[in-house]
Structure 1
Amino acid sequence: MKTRTKQRTIIEHSQFRQMLSYHTCYTNKSEQQDIKNSLKGEIMAAYEDKWQRLADGTRSAIDELCFMATEKGFCYASKGYLTRHNISKRTLDRAINFLSNKGLIYIAYRRRGCLNLTGKPVFLFISHPYFEYWTSFLSLNVVDNDVANVVTGNSQTVSLSIDSADDPFSTSFSPRSLSKESVKDRSENDETPTDSDLDYLPQYIDKEFGTIYKVHFGLNVARINQLWKILHQQAYKANIEPENVSQAGIWSLKQLIGQMKIKKVKNIYAYYTQIVKDKCHDIFLDECENEYGADFSKLAFEIPH
Protein backbone atom coordinates (compact mmCIF):
# COMPACT_ATOMS: atom_id res chain seq x y z
CA MET A 1 0.00 0.00 0.00
CA LYS A 2 1.31 3.43 -0.92
CA THR A 3 1.76 5.99 1.80
CA ARG A 4 2.22 9.74 1.54
CA THR A 5 5.67 10.69 2.75
CA LYS A 6 5.65 14.40 1.95
CA GLN A 7 4.08 16.56 4.63
CA ARG A 8 1.96 19.37 3.25
CA THR A 9 2.14 22.88 4.63
CA ILE A 10 -1.25 24.11 5.88
CA ILE A 11 -1.87 27.86 6.10
CA GLU A 12 -4.17 28.84 8.94
CA HIS A 13 -7.09 31.19 8.28
CA SER A 14 -5.55 33.96 10.39
CA GLN A 15 -2.22 33.58 8.61
CA PHE A 16 -3.85 33.81 5.20
CA ARG A 17 -5.70 36.99 6.18
CA GLN A 18 -2.39 38.52 7.23
CA MET A 19 -0.78 37.46 3.96
CA LEU A 20 -3.56 39.14 1.99
CA SER A 21 -3.20 42.39 3.94
CA TYR A 22 0.59 42.64 3.51
CA HIS A 23 1.76 45.62 1.46
CA THR A 24 2.61 45.17 -2.21
CA CYS A 25 6.15 44.59 -3.38
CA TYR A 26 6.16 47.27 -6.08
CA THR A 27 5.42 50.98 -6.02
CA ASN A 28 4.46 51.55 -9.64
CA LYS A 29 3.37 49.68 -12.74
CA SER A 30 6.87 49.59 -14.20
CA GLU A 31 8.26 47.76 -11.16
CA GLN A 32 5.34 45.35 -11.30
CA GLN A 33 6.11 44.53 -14.92
CA ASP A 34 9.79 43.98 -14.11
CA ILE A 35 8.91 41.48 -11.36
CA LYS A 36 6.50 39.64 -13.63
CA ASN A 37 9.07 39.45 -16.43
CA SER A 38 11.62 38.09 -13.97
CA LEU A 39 9.27 35.36 -12.70
CA LYS A 40 8.16 34.41 -16.19
CA GLY A 41 11.71 34.51 -17.55
CA GLU A 42 12.85 31.87 -15.06
CA ILE A 43 9.94 29.64 -16.03
CA MET A 44 10.72 30.01 -19.74
CA ALA A 45 14.37 29.19 -19.04
CA ALA A 46 13.32 26.06 -17.13
CA TYR A 47 11.18 24.86 -20.04
CA GLU A 48 13.94 25.71 -22.55
CA ASP A 49 12.84 24.77 -26.09
CA LYS A 50 9.66 23.15 -24.79
CA TRP A 51 8.21 26.56 -23.95
CA GLN A 52 7.40 27.33 -27.58
CA ARG A 53 5.79 23.92 -27.99
CA LEU A 54 3.40 24.42 -25.09
CA ALA A 55 -0.23 25.07 -25.92
CA ASP A 56 -1.32 28.70 -25.94
CA GLY A 57 -3.67 28.03 -23.04
CA THR A 58 -0.88 26.61 -20.90
CA ARG A 59 1.35 29.61 -21.55
CA SER A 60 -1.54 31.97 -20.80
CA ALA A 61 -2.28 30.20 -17.49
CA ILE A 62 1.40 30.42 -16.46
CA ASP A 63 1.48 34.07 -17.47
CA GLU A 64 -1.54 34.78 -15.26
CA LEU A 65 0.05 32.91 -12.35
CA CYS A 66 3.13 35.14 -12.65
CA PHE A 67 1.00 38.28 -12.89
CA MET A 68 -1.04 37.46 -9.79
CA ALA A 69 2.12 36.62 -7.83
CA THR A 70 3.86 39.92 -8.52
CA GLU A 71 1.91 41.76 -5.82
CA LYS A 72 2.85 39.71 -2.75
CA GLY A 73 4.80 36.74 -4.06
CA PHE A 74 1.98 34.20 -4.06
CA CYS A 75 -1.09 33.26 -6.06
CA TYR A 76 -4.18 31.46 -4.79
CA ALA A 77 -6.23 31.22 -8.00
CA SER A 78 -8.26 28.03 -8.16
CA LYS A 79 -7.76 25.42 -10.86
CA GLY A 80 -11.25 26.12 -12.10
CA TYR A 81 -10.33 29.75 -12.65
CA LEU A 82 -7.06 28.96 -14.45
CA THR A 83 -8.64 26.40 -16.77
CA ARG A 84 -10.66 29.19 -18.37
CA HIS A 85 -7.67 29.48 -20.74
CA ASN A 86 -9.08 26.45 -22.59
CA ILE A 87 -6.89 23.85 -20.89
CA SER A 88 -7.84 20.79 -18.89
CA LYS A 89 -7.16 20.35 -15.20
CA ARG A 90 -4.77 17.53 -16.04
CA THR A 91 -2.73 19.81 -18.29
CA LEU A 92 -2.71 22.49 -15.60
CA ASP A 93 -1.58 19.93 -13.00
CA ARG A 94 1.32 18.90 -15.22
CA ALA A 95 2.44 22.51 -15.58
CA ILE A 96 2.20 23.20 -11.83
CA ASN A 97 4.03 19.97 -10.98
CA PHE A 98 6.76 20.94 -13.43
CA LEU A 99 7.23 24.33 -11.74
CA SER A 100 7.29 22.66 -8.33
CA ASN A 101 9.81 20.00 -9.36
CA LYS A 102 12.06 22.65 -10.89
CA GLY A 103 12.09 24.57 -7.60
CA LEU A 104 10.29 27.62 -9.00
CA ILE A 105 7.21 27.50 -6.78
CA TYR A 106 6.39 26.18 -3.33
CA ILE A 107 2.87 24.80 -2.89
CA ALA A 108 1.12 25.31 0.43
CA TYR A 109 -2.53 24.68 1.22
CA ARG A 110 -5.21 26.62 3.03
CA ARG A 111 -6.93 24.80 5.87
CA ARG A 112 -10.31 23.39 4.92
CA GLY A 113 -12.81 24.72 7.43
CA CYS A 114 -11.88 23.87 11.01
CA LEU A 115 -10.63 20.39 10.11
CA ASN A 116 -7.06 19.23 9.73
CA LEU A 117 -7.51 18.87 5.97
CA THR A 118 -5.96 20.70 3.05
CA GLY A 119 -8.06 23.11 1.06
CA LYS A 120 -7.21 25.16 -2.00
CA PRO A 121 -3.51 25.49 -2.92
CA VAL A 122 -1.43 28.64 -2.57
CA PHE A 123 1.47 28.95 -5.01
CA LEU A 124 4.46 30.81 -3.55
CA PHE A 125 7.05 31.89 -6.10
CA ILE A 126 10.49 31.10 -4.73
CA SER A 127 12.36 33.76 -6.70
CA HIS A 128 10.01 36.54 -5.57
CA PRO A 129 11.57 39.04 -3.15
CA TYR A 130 9.00 38.21 -0.45
CA PHE A 131 9.58 34.46 -0.40
CA GLU A 132 12.19 34.74 2.35
CA TYR A 133 9.60 36.42 4.54
CA TRP A 134 6.92 33.82 3.80
CA THR A 135 9.44 31.10 4.62
CA SER A 136 9.85 32.56 8.10
CA PHE A 137 6.22 33.52 8.57
CA LEU A 138 4.84 30.10 7.60
CA SER A 139 7.79 28.10 8.97
CA LEU A 140 8.30 26.44 5.61
CA ASN A 141 10.58 23.44 5.52
CA VAL A 142 12.72 24.53 2.59
CA VAL A 143 15.72 22.24 2.34
CA ASP A 144 16.44 22.17 -1.39
CA ASN A 145 19.83 23.69 -2.24
CA ASP A 146 18.52 25.51 -5.29
CA VAL A 147 15.70 27.01 -3.26
CA ALA A 148 18.11 28.05 -0.53
CA ASN A 149 20.34 29.76 -3.07
CA VAL A 150 17.42 31.70 -4.52
CA VAL A 151 16.36 32.86 -1.06
CA THR A 152 19.91 33.93 -0.22
CA GLY A 153 20.20 35.86 -3.46
CA ASN A 154 16.96 37.73 -2.83
CA SER A 155 17.97 38.62 0.71
CA GLN A 156 21.07 40.38 -0.58
CA THR A 157 19.28 42.60 -3.08
CA VAL A 158 15.81 43.22 -1.66
CA SER A 159 14.87 44.68 1.69
CA LEU A 160 11.42 43.85 3.06
CA SER A 161 11.49 46.90 5.33
CA ILE A 162 10.05 44.98 8.29
CA ASP A 163 10.47 46.75 11.59
CA SER A 164 9.58 44.99 14.80
CA ALA A 165 7.98 48.17 16.08
CA ASP A 166 5.68 48.45 13.05
CA ASP A 167 2.97 46.01 12.14
CA PRO A 168 3.39 45.27 8.41
CA PHE A 169 -0.17 44.08 8.12
CA SER A 170 -3.22 46.25 7.66
CA THR A 171 -6.73 45.22 8.61
CA SER A 172 -8.01 45.63 5.08
CA PHE A 173 -11.53 44.49 5.85
CA SER A 174 -12.06 46.11 9.25
CA PRO A 175 -14.21 49.21 9.74
CA ARG A 176 -11.27 51.25 11.02
CA SER A 177 -9.35 51.09 7.74
CA LEU A 178 -12.46 52.21 5.87
CA SER A 179 -13.14 55.31 7.94
CA LYS A 180 -13.60 58.69 6.31
CA GLU A 181 -10.17 59.76 7.52
CA SER A 182 -8.41 56.81 5.86
CA VAL A 183 -10.16 57.45 2.55
CA LYS A 184 -9.23 61.11 2.77
CA ASP A 185 -5.60 60.24 3.46
CA ARG A 186 -5.44 58.05 0.38
CA SER A 187 -6.67 60.84 -1.86
CA GLU A 188 -4.23 63.32 -0.36
CA ASN A 189 -1.35 60.94 -1.05
CA ASP A 190 -2.28 60.83 -4.76
CA GLU A 191 -3.11 57.14 -4.59
CA THR A 192 -6.36 57.62 -6.47
CA PRO A 193 -6.11 55.33 -9.49
CA THR A 194 -5.76 56.77 -12.96
CA ASP A 195 -6.84 55.21 -16.23
CA SER A 196 -3.33 53.86 -16.77
CA ASP A 197 -3.41 52.10 -13.37
CA LEU A 198 -6.45 50.11 -14.49
CA ASP A 199 -5.23 49.22 -17.98
CA TYR A 200 -4.43 45.67 -17.00
CA LEU A 201 -7.95 45.00 -15.70
CA PRO A 202 -9.96 42.73 -18.02
CA GLN A 203 -11.87 44.78 -20.57
CA TYR A 204 -15.22 43.36 -19.49
CA ILE A 205 -14.91 44.98 -16.03
CA ASP A 206 -16.29 48.50 -15.71
CA LYS A 207 -13.48 50.99 -15.03
CA GLU A 208 -15.56 52.92 -12.49
CA PHE A 209 -16.15 49.69 -10.60
CA GLY A 210 -12.41 48.98 -10.52
CA THR A 211 -11.64 52.56 -9.50
CA ILE A 212 -13.99 52.45 -6.51
CA TYR A 213 -12.49 49.15 -5.34
CA LYS A 214 -8.91 50.43 -5.81
CA VAL A 215 -9.52 53.57 -3.73
CA HIS A 216 -10.71 51.64 -0.69
CA PHE A 217 -8.96 48.27 -0.87
CA GLY A 218 -6.05 48.66 -3.28
CA LEU A 219 -5.87 47.19 -6.76
CA ASN A 220 -6.35 43.42 -6.65
CA VAL A 221 -7.40 42.01 -10.01
CA ALA A 222 -8.42 38.62 -8.63
CA ARG A 223 -10.81 40.12 -6.05
CA ILE A 224 -12.28 42.64 -8.48
CA ASN A 225 -12.85 39.86 -11.00
CA GLN A 226 -14.55 37.70 -8.36
CA LEU A 227 -16.93 40.51 -7.34
CA TRP A 228 -17.69 41.21 -10.99
CA LYS A 229 -18.40 37.52 -11.53
CA ILE A 230 -20.83 37.53 -8.59
CA LEU A 231 -22.53 40.57 -10.09
CA HIS A 232 -23.12 38.88 -13.44
CA GLN A 233 -24.37 35.68 -11.82
CA GLN A 234 -27.02 37.59 -9.88
CA ALA A 235 -27.88 39.79 -12.86
CA TYR A 236 -28.42 36.68 -14.98
CA LYS A 237 -30.67 35.11 -12.34
CA ALA A 238 -32.70 38.32 -12.01
CA ASN A 239 -32.92 38.66 -15.81
CA ILE A 240 -32.16 42.37 -15.88
CA GLU A 241 -31.09 44.27 -18.99
CA PRO A 242 -27.32 44.28 -19.77
CA GLU A 243 -27.10 48.08 -19.67
CA ASN A 244 -28.19 48.03 -16.00
CA VAL A 245 -25.63 45.48 -14.81
CA SER A 246 -22.81 47.95 -14.19
CA GLN A 247 -25.19 50.28 -12.36
CA ALA A 248 -26.21 47.45 -10.03
CA GLY A 249 -22.59 46.48 -9.37
CA ILE A 250 -21.36 49.99 -8.62
CA TRP A 251 -24.29 50.77 -6.35
CA SER A 252 -23.85 47.48 -4.48
CA LEU A 253 -20.10 48.01 -4.06
CA LYS A 254 -20.74 51.45 -2.54
CA GLN A 255 -23.27 49.93 -0.17
CA LEU A 256 -20.75 47.27 0.85
CA ILE A 257 -18.13 49.91 1.61
CA GLY A 258 -20.66 51.91 3.61
CA GLN A 259 -21.53 48.89 5.72
CA MET A 260 -17.87 48.04 6.30
CA LYS A 261 -17.32 51.51 7.72
CA ILE A 262 -19.67 50.82 10.61
CA LYS A 263 -19.25 47.09 11.24
CA LYS A 264 -16.90 44.19 10.58
CA VAL A 265 -17.80 42.05 7.59
CA LYS A 266 -16.44 38.51 7.88
CA ASN A 267 -17.08 37.45 4.28
CA ILE A 268 -17.28 40.30 1.79
CA TYR A 269 -18.19 37.99 -1.07
CA ALA A 270 -21.24 36.59 0.69
CA TYR A 271 -22.25 40.04 1.91
CA TYR A 272 -21.81 41.55 -1.55
CA THR A 273 -23.82 38.71 -3.09
CA GLN A 274 -26.83 39.51 -0.93
CA ILE A 275 -26.63 43.23 -1.69
CA VAL A 276 -26.34 42.59 -5.44
CA LYS A 277 -29.19 40.10 -5.35
CA ASP A 278 -31.56 42.61 -3.73
CA LYS A 279 -30.48 45.41 -6.08
CA CYS A 280 -30.93 43.28 -9.22
CA HIS A 281 -34.41 42.30 -8.02
CA ASP A 282 -35.33 45.97 -7.57
CA ILE A 283 -34.00 46.79 -11.03
CA PHE A 284 -36.03 43.93 -12.53
CA LEU A 285 -39.22 45.31 -10.96
CA ASP A 286 -38.43 48.79 -12.29
CA GLU A 287 -37.82 47.40 -15.80
CA CYS A 288 -41.14 45.57 -15.74
CA GLU A 289 -42.97 48.72 -14.70
CA ASN A 290 -41.22 50.94 -17.26
CA GLU A 291 -41.52 48.51 -20.18
CA TYR A 292 -44.90 46.91 -19.59
CA GLY A 293 -46.53 49.06 -16.92
CA ALA A 294 -46.67 46.10 -14.57
CA ASP A 295 -46.04 46.82 -10.90
CA PHE A 296 -45.18 43.42 -9.43
CA SER A 297 -44.21 44.96 -6.11
CA LYS A 298 -47.88 45.44 -5.26
CA LEU A 299 -48.93 41.90 -6.06
CA ALA A 300 -50.25 39.92 -3.10
CA PHE A 301 -50.59 36.16 -3.11
CA GLU A 302 -52.99 34.33 -0.85
CA ILE A 303 -52.91 30.65 -0.08
CA PRO A 304 -56.32 29.12 -0.85
CA HIS A 305 -58.09 27.48 2.07
Structure 2
Amino acid sequence: MSATRLASSTLDSDSFRAIADLAYRESGLTLADKKATMIQSRLRHRLRILGLPDFAAYCAYIQSENGQEEHPHLISALTTNVSHFFRESHHFDTLGKLVAKRLPDLRAGGCLRIWSAGCSNGQEPLSIAMTLLDHAPDMHKLDLRILATDIDASVINFAREGVYPDRLMSGVSDEMRARFFTRHTASAGGESGYAAKSEIKGMIRYNPLNLLKEWPMRSQFDVIFCRNVVIYFDVETQCRLWPRMHQLLRPDGVLFLGHSERIAQPEKFGFRVGEPTTYRPL
Protein backbone atom coordinates (compact mmCIF):
# COMPACT_ATOMS: atom_id res chain seq x y z
CA MET A 1 0.00 0.00 0.00
CA SER A 2 1.54 3.34 -1.02
CA ALA A 3 2.11 6.20 1.39
CA THR A 4 0.08 8.42 -0.94
CA ARG A 5 -2.94 6.12 -0.69
CA LEU A 6 -2.64 6.04 3.10
CA ALA A 7 -2.17 9.79 3.39
CA SER A 8 -5.33 10.45 1.39
CA SER A 9 -7.56 8.19 3.49
CA THR A 10 -10.62 10.04 4.79
CA LEU A 11 -12.45 9.49 8.05
CA ASP A 12 -15.94 8.13 7.40
CA SER A 13 -18.78 8.74 9.84
CA ASP A 14 -18.85 5.17 11.23
CA SER A 15 -15.12 5.26 11.92
CA PHE A 16 -15.41 8.68 13.55
CA ARG A 17 -18.10 7.40 15.91
CA ALA A 18 -16.09 4.26 16.77
CA ILE A 19 -12.98 6.34 17.54
CA ALA A 20 -14.96 8.93 19.51
CA ASP A 21 -16.70 6.24 21.55
CA LEU A 22 -13.42 4.51 22.38
CA ALA A 23 -11.77 7.80 23.34
CA TYR A 24 -14.66 8.56 25.68
CA ARG A 25 -14.60 5.13 27.31
CA GLU A 26 -10.83 5.10 27.74
CA SER A 27 -10.14 8.67 28.79
CA GLY A 28 -13.35 10.68 29.11
CA LEU A 29 -12.34 12.67 26.03
CA THR A 30 -15.45 14.12 24.39
CA LEU A 31 -15.14 14.55 20.61
CA ALA A 32 -17.82 16.56 18.83
CA ASP A 33 -18.66 15.94 15.18
CA LYS A 34 -16.87 19.15 14.23
CA LYS A 35 -13.60 17.50 15.40
CA ALA A 36 -13.69 14.93 12.58
CA THR A 37 -11.13 16.78 10.45
CA MET A 38 -8.79 17.14 13.41
CA ILE A 39 -9.09 13.43 14.24
CA GLN A 40 -8.41 12.49 10.63
CA SER A 41 -5.31 14.68 10.54
CA ARG A 42 -3.89 13.45 13.83
CA LEU A 43 -4.46 9.74 13.23
CA ARG A 44 -3.24 9.42 9.65
CA HIS A 45 0.31 8.81 10.87
CA ARG A 46 -0.95 5.89 12.97
CA LEU A 47 -2.38 4.30 9.81
CA ARG A 48 1.01 4.73 8.13
CA ILE A 49 2.88 3.20 11.07
CA LEU A 50 0.52 0.22 11.25
CA GLY A 51 0.34 -0.21 7.47
CA LEU A 52 -3.45 0.00 7.41
CA PRO A 53 -5.28 1.06 4.22
CA ASP A 54 -8.06 3.18 5.72
CA PHE A 55 -9.85 4.26 8.89
CA ALA A 56 -12.30 1.37 8.70
CA ALA A 57 -9.36 -1.03 8.98
CA TYR A 58 -7.94 1.04 11.81
CA CYS A 59 -11.21 0.88 13.74
CA ALA A 60 -11.44 -2.86 13.23
CA TYR A 61 -7.90 -3.12 14.62
CA ILE A 62 -8.45 -1.00 17.76
CA GLN A 63 -11.62 -2.97 18.53
CA SER A 64 -9.79 -6.29 18.30
CA GLU A 65 -7.91 -8.01 21.11
CA ASN A 66 -4.58 -7.43 19.38
CA GLY A 67 -5.39 -3.73 19.00
CA GLN A 68 -5.51 -3.00 22.74
CA GLU A 69 -1.90 -1.82 22.64
CA GLU A 70 -2.88 0.86 20.12
CA HIS A 71 -5.27 2.59 22.54
CA PRO A 72 -2.59 4.69 24.32
CA HIS A 73 -1.24 5.85 20.95
CA LEU A 74 -4.75 6.85 19.86
CA ILE A 75 -5.37 8.85 23.06
CA SER A 76 -1.94 10.45 22.79
CA ALA A 77 -2.66 11.57 19.23
CA LEU A 78 -6.02 13.08 20.18
CA THR A 79 -4.98 14.97 23.32
CA THR A 80 -3.48 18.43 23.15
CA ASN A 81 -0.20 18.56 25.06
CA VAL A 82 0.23 22.32 25.16
CA SER A 83 1.56 24.02 28.26
CA HIS A 84 3.75 26.91 29.35
CA PHE A 85 5.98 27.69 32.27
CA PHE A 86 4.09 29.64 34.95
CA ARG A 87 0.85 29.47 33.00
CA GLU A 88 -1.88 31.43 34.84
CA SER A 89 0.62 33.08 37.13
CA HIS A 90 -1.95 33.98 39.81
CA HIS A 91 -2.05 30.31 40.79
CA PHE A 92 1.67 30.39 41.53
CA ASP A 93 1.19 33.57 43.57
CA THR A 94 -1.38 31.69 45.66
CA LEU A 95 0.97 28.71 45.93
CA GLY A 96 3.75 31.00 47.14
CA LYS A 97 1.54 32.40 49.90
CA LEU A 98 0.57 28.89 50.97
CA VAL A 99 4.22 27.84 51.13
CA ALA A 100 5.18 30.89 53.18
CA LYS A 101 2.42 30.05 55.65
CA ARG A 102 3.44 26.40 55.89
CA LEU A 103 7.21 26.90 56.16
CA PRO A 104 7.44 26.91 59.98
CA ASP A 105 5.56 23.62 60.13
CA LEU A 106 7.65 22.14 57.32
CA ARG A 107 10.90 23.05 59.03
CA ALA A 108 9.55 21.54 62.24
CA GLY A 109 9.07 18.17 60.53
CA GLY A 110 5.80 18.65 58.65
CA CYS A 111 5.19 17.60 55.05
CA LEU A 112 3.88 19.16 51.84
CA ARG A 113 2.24 17.12 49.08
CA ILE A 114 1.38 18.53 45.65
CA TRP A 115 -0.21 16.81 42.65
CA SER A 116 0.05 18.08 39.09
CA ALA A 117 -2.74 16.11 37.37
CA GLY A 118 -2.42 16.42 33.62
CA CYS A 119 1.18 17.63 33.78
CA SER A 120 1.72 17.43 29.99
CA ASN A 121 5.38 17.98 29.12
CA GLY A 122 6.44 18.87 32.65
CA GLN A 123 6.41 22.66 32.57
CA GLU A 124 3.73 22.85 35.28
CA PRO A 125 5.46 20.69 37.91
CA LEU A 126 8.77 22.40 37.19
CA SER A 127 7.05 25.77 37.68
CA ILE A 128 5.73 24.46 41.00
CA ALA A 129 9.21 23.35 42.07
CA MET A 130 10.76 26.69 41.09
CA THR A 131 8.06 28.58 43.00
CA LEU A 132 8.74 26.54 46.13
CA LEU A 133 12.51 26.99 45.90
CA ASP A 134 12.09 30.70 45.24
CA HIS A 135 10.28 31.02 48.58
CA ALA A 136 12.46 28.53 50.46
CA PRO A 137 15.85 27.61 48.94
CA ASP A 138 16.05 24.63 51.31
CA MET A 139 12.70 23.25 50.16
CA HIS A 140 14.29 20.27 48.38
CA LYS A 141 15.72 19.17 51.75
CA LEU A 142 12.31 19.21 53.48
CA ASP A 143 9.54 16.59 53.41
CA LEU A 144 8.13 17.62 50.04
CA ARG A 145 6.70 15.51 47.24
CA ILE A 146 5.43 16.69 43.89
CA LEU A 147 3.54 14.04 41.94
CA ALA A 148 3.14 14.74 38.23
CA THR A 149 0.83 12.55 36.15
CA ASP A 150 -0.58 12.45 32.63
CA ILE A 151 -2.50 9.94 30.58
CA ASP A 152 0.07 10.22 27.77
CA ALA A 153 3.15 8.11 28.55
CA SER A 154 5.14 9.83 25.80
CA VAL A 155 4.87 13.26 27.41
CA ILE A 156 5.71 11.72 30.79
CA ASN A 157 8.95 10.45 29.26
CA PHE A 158 9.64 13.90 27.82
CA ALA A 159 8.98 15.50 31.21
CA ARG A 160 11.32 13.08 32.98
CA GLU A 161 14.11 14.11 30.63
CA GLY A 162 13.51 17.76 31.52
CA VAL A 163 15.11 19.18 28.38
CA TYR A 164 13.25 22.04 26.68
CA PRO A 165 14.07 23.72 23.37
CA ASP A 166 14.35 27.50 23.39
CA ARG A 167 10.83 27.87 21.97
CA LEU A 168 9.34 26.24 25.11
CA MET A 169 11.22 28.38 27.64
CA SER A 170 8.98 31.44 27.53
CA GLY A 171 7.72 32.41 30.95
CA VAL A 172 10.99 31.57 32.70
CA SER A 173 12.82 34.71 33.79
CA ASP A 174 16.53 35.12 33.04
CA GLU A 175 17.26 34.80 36.76
CA MET A 176 15.32 31.53 37.10
CA ARG A 177 16.78 30.21 33.88
CA ALA A 178 20.30 30.75 35.20
CA ARG A 179 19.43 29.31 38.60
CA PHE A 180 17.47 26.21 37.64
CA PHE A 181 18.61 25.25 34.11
CA THR A 182 21.79 24.54 32.20
CA ARG A 183 22.36 25.18 28.52
CA HIS A 184 21.74 22.06 26.45
CA THR A 185 23.39 21.61 23.07
CA ALA A 186 21.46 19.33 20.80
CA SER A 187 22.94 16.63 18.62
CA ALA A 188 22.97 17.06 14.85
CA GLY A 189 19.53 17.98 13.57
CA GLY A 190 18.08 18.61 17.03
CA GLU A 191 17.07 21.79 18.83
CA SER A 192 19.26 23.54 21.36
CA GLY A 193 17.63 24.48 24.63
CA TYR A 194 17.84 24.13 28.39
CA ALA A 195 17.97 21.17 30.74
CA ALA A 196 16.41 21.35 34.19
CA LYS A 197 18.95 20.90 36.97
CA SER A 198 18.77 17.87 39.23
CA GLU A 199 17.84 20.19 42.13
CA ILE A 200 14.34 20.67 40.72
CA LYS A 201 13.98 17.44 38.75
CA GLY A 202 14.64 15.49 41.93
CA MET A 203 11.63 17.12 43.63
CA ILE A 204 9.19 15.59 41.14
CA ARG A 205 7.95 12.03 40.59
CA TYR A 206 6.43 11.42 37.15
CA ASN A 207 3.93 8.63 36.47
CA PRO A 208 1.36 7.90 33.73
CA LEU A 209 -2.19 7.98 35.08
CA ASN A 210 -5.65 7.86 33.56
CA LEU A 211 -7.89 10.09 35.73
CA LEU A 212 -10.93 7.95 34.92
CA LYS A 213 -9.40 4.77 36.27
CA GLU A 214 -8.12 3.73 39.69
CA TRP A 215 -5.80 6.15 41.47
CA PRO A 216 -2.95 4.50 43.39
CA MET A 217 -2.50 7.47 45.76
CA ARG A 218 -3.73 6.92 49.28
CA SER A 219 -2.46 9.97 51.17
CA GLN A 220 -4.03 13.42 50.77
CA PHE A 221 -2.57 16.45 49.02
CA ASP A 222 -2.15 20.04 50.14
CA VAL A 223 -2.41 21.31 46.56
CA ILE A 224 -3.88 19.80 43.39
CA PHE A 225 -3.30 21.37 39.99
CA CYS A 226 -5.84 19.98 37.51
CA ARG A 227 -5.74 22.65 34.83
CA ASN A 228 -6.95 22.49 31.25
CA VAL A 229 -7.86 18.83 31.68
CA VAL A 230 -11.56 18.64 32.54
CA ILE A 231 -12.38 21.03 29.70
CA TYR A 232 -12.26 17.92 27.49
CA PHE A 233 -14.74 16.03 29.72
CA ASP A 234 -18.51 16.20 29.60
CA VAL A 235 -20.48 17.31 32.68
CA GLU A 236 -21.23 13.73 33.75
CA THR A 237 -17.54 12.81 33.75
CA GLN A 238 -16.61 15.99 35.62
CA CYS A 239 -19.22 15.27 38.28
CA ARG A 240 -17.66 11.88 38.88
CA LEU A 241 -14.21 13.47 39.18
CA TRP A 242 -14.92 16.22 41.75
CA PRO A 243 -15.76 13.92 44.69
CA ARG A 244 -12.56 11.98 44.08
CA MET A 245 -10.54 15.20 44.04
CA HIS A 246 -12.24 16.33 47.24
CA GLN A 247 -11.42 13.05 48.95
CA LEU A 248 -7.72 13.44 48.14
CA LEU A 249 -7.51 17.09 49.23
CA ARG A 250 -6.63 17.99 52.80
CA PRO A 251 -9.19 20.12 54.69
CA ASP A 252 -7.02 23.24 54.26
CA GLY A 253 -5.91 22.31 50.74
CA VAL A 254 -6.29 24.08 47.39
CA LEU A 255 -7.54 22.87 44.00
CA PHE A 256 -6.54 24.86 40.90
CA LEU A 257 -8.46 24.57 37.62
CA GLY A 258 -7.77 26.12 34.21
CA HIS A 259 -9.01 29.59 33.30
CA SER A 260 -11.98 28.25 31.30
CA GLU A 261 -12.94 25.52 33.79
CA ARG A 262 -15.45 25.72 36.63
CA ILE A 263 -17.07 23.43 39.17
CA ALA A 264 -20.80 23.87 38.74
CA GLN A 265 -22.46 24.05 42.15
CA PRO A 266 -19.17 23.59 44.04
CA GLU A 267 -20.93 23.28 47.42
CA LYS A 268 -22.59 20.10 46.15
CA PHE A 269 -19.13 18.53 45.93
CA GLY A 270 -17.78 20.00 49.17
CA PHE A 271 -15.91 22.99 47.68
CA ARG A 272 -16.06 26.73 48.05
CA VAL A 273 -14.74 29.25 45.53
CA GLY A 274 -11.57 31.07 46.47
CA GLU A 275 -9.49 33.20 44.13
CA PRO A 276 -10.23 32.89 40.37
CA THR A 277 -10.40 29.20 39.36
CA THR A 278 -9.29 28.27 42.86
CA TYR A 279 -11.34 25.97 45.08
CA ARG A 280 -10.99 25.01 48.73
CA PRO A 281 -12.80 22.36 50.77
CA LEU A 282 -15.77 23.58 52.80
Shorter chain as normaliser: what TM range? under 0.3
Between Structure 1 and Structure 2, the one with more helix by share is 1
Higher relative contact order (CA 8 A, sep 6+): 2
The two structures have a TM-score, normalised by structure 2, of 0.23
